[in-house]
């Protein structure tokens, strides 16, 4: 994918940026992309399940605003609009307006968005795959807490 | 790593849980782990840089509360305490109290926490590696927005 030079400049960038530091711009970027709506928008545009056989294995595809709104159940219009605008500004998605009546607005992953999608899709998959284990851990923790220090 | 049976049961879990659905418990878990403080706590316990040569390549290590607080610049005590308690309850970190004077409290990744750390560490590294590209995209977007529709 990346040429040696691109890879070198990314390694160099990682030496200059450090998200552990509050004042580093990468802290703010980490904060932006550590967001469930970002993960879900990228997953939807990246073609993630739960279609039959859908896994992380779907094909990326452009989606209309209304399709995204349906896919991400419970998202408010304000939140979806804000999330999409931030993703567009960061260069992770492109927004295309087609002058139909009414206009059609579609969103699509850029190459940069696709690279982040591949990571965040794994985080979403992790949450789904380890849900039972986490629920069992929570039940055990709560039982210990209720039982006091000796149980 | 995972046996075939474990892998099968995780694949089965991924069929039952779907973070696209607002009412699915995995939506709430995705929301919990999509958090910069979670990413940074796991990165610190996972031994991530920016030590010399530190990349994602560090060794996981237990850290005291005070060490974590120093590592995550800008974190409030309340936020760090809440984050650690949620991670402990979900079974991602263990908390060990040693009866020194004053008591020493250390945190360590569990195996489950380590598996999530490996993913979130890549998200943090992505933010650091693509920072320049994102900053350039933002500048271009803002210039287009300022220039109006014809520019």
Q: Identify any residues that bridge with A64 across adjacent strands, giving them in sequence order.
A: A106
- Rounded CA-CA distance A119/A128 in Å is 15
Q: Which of A87, A130, A49 is nearest to B115 (CA)?
A: A130
Per the CB < 8 Å rule, is A20 touching B71? yes
Of B10, B18, B131, which is closest to A29 when you measure between CB atoms?
B131
From B68, which residue of chain A is nearest by alpha-carbon distance? A20
User: Out of A14, A72, A122, whose CB is closest to B128?
Assistant: A14
DSSP state at residue B116:
H
Torsion, Cα of B2, B3, B9, B10 (10° steps): 20
Q: What is the DSSP letter of B64?
A: E
Measured CA to CA, the distance from residue A35 to residue A37 in angstroms comes to 5
Rounded Cα distance between A4 and B137, Å, is 22
Q: What is the pLDDT of residue A117?
A: 96
Torsion of CA B95, B96, B99, B100, to 10 degrees: -90
Rounded (10°) CA dihedral B82, B83, B86, B89: -100
Query: pLDDT at position A14, please?
Result: 77
The encoded tokens of residue A147 equal: 């039982």
d(CA A49, CA A51): 5
pLDDT of res. B17: 94
Which of these, A136, A53, A133, lies nearest to B13 by C-alpha position? Answer: A133
How many whole angstroms separate alpha carbon B63 and alpha carbon A20?
Answer: 15
pLDDT at A52: 41
Which of A13, A55, A127 minimises the CB distance to B30? Answer: A127
For the stretch B66-86, pLDDT in tens is 999 999 999 999 999 999 999
Say how far apart CA B130 and CA A90 lie, in whole Å. 10
Cross-chain Cβ contact B34/A31 below 8 Å? no
Q: What does the CA dihedral A141, A144, A149, A151 come to, rounded to 10 degrees?
A: -140
Q: How far away is chain B from the Cα of A52, in angstroms, using its nearest Cα? A: 10
Tokens representing A10 are: 């990314």
Which residues 109-138 of B are in CB contact (within 8 Å) with A? 112, 115-116, 119-120, 122-138
Which residues on chain B are in Cβ contact (under 8 Å) with A39? 19, 30, 34
Neighbouring-strand partners of residue A107: A63, A95
pLDDT per residue as tens digits for the range B20-70: 999 999 999 999 999 999 999 999 999 986 544 444 457 999 999 999 999
B21 touches chain A (CB under 8 A): yes
Q: How far apart are the first and last CA of chain A?
A: 54
Task: Write the pLDDT tens digit of every residue in B96-140.
Answer: 999 999 899 999 999 999 999 999 999 999 999 999 999 999 999
The pTM of the full predicted model, rounded to 2 decimals, is 0.87
CB-hemisphere CA count at 13 Å for A143?
A: 7
Contact (Cβ atoms closer than 8 angstroms) between residue A95 and residue A13: no
- What number is the ipTM of this complex? 0.87
Q: List chain A pLDDT tens, one digit each, 151 residues.
A: 556 787 888 788 778 899 999 999 999 999 999 999 999 999 999 998 654 444 445 799 999 999 999 999 999 999 999 999 999 999 999 999 999 998 999 999 999 999 999 999 999 999 999 999 999 999 999 999 888 655 4
Considering A133-142, B1-10, B142-151, the range whose residues carry the highest mean pLDDT is A133-142
Distances (CA, A) of A70 to A46, A74, A76, B19: 16, 9, 11, 13
Residue B12 pLDDT class (50, 70, 90 cuts): confident
Nearest Cα to B127, choosing from A62, A82, A10, A42?
Answer: A10
Let me know: does B38 contact B32? Beta carbons within 8 Å: yes
* Distance separating alpha carbons of residues B87 and B32, to the nearest angstrom: 9
Q: What's the token pair of residue B21?
A: 């659905």
């Amino acid at each position: 994918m990346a040429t040696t030079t691109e890879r070198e400049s990314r390694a160099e960038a990682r030496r200059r940026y450090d998200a552990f530091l509050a004042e580093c711009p990468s802290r703010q970027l980490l904060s932006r992309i550590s967001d469930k709506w970002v993960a879900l928008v990228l997953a939807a545009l990246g073609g993630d399940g739960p279609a039959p056989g859908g896994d992380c294995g779907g094909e990326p595809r452009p989606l209309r605003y209304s399709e995204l709104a349906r896919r991400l159940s419970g998202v408010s219009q304000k939140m979806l609009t804000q999330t999409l605008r931030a993703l567009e500004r960061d260069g992770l998605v492109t927004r295309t307006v087609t002058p139909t009546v009414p206009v059609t607005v579609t969103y699509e992953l850029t190459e940069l968005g696709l690279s982040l999608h591949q990571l965040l899709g794994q985080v979403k998959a992790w949450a789904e795959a380890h849900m039972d284990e986490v629920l069992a851990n929570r039940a055990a923790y709560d039982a210990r807490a209720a039982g006091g220090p000796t149980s």
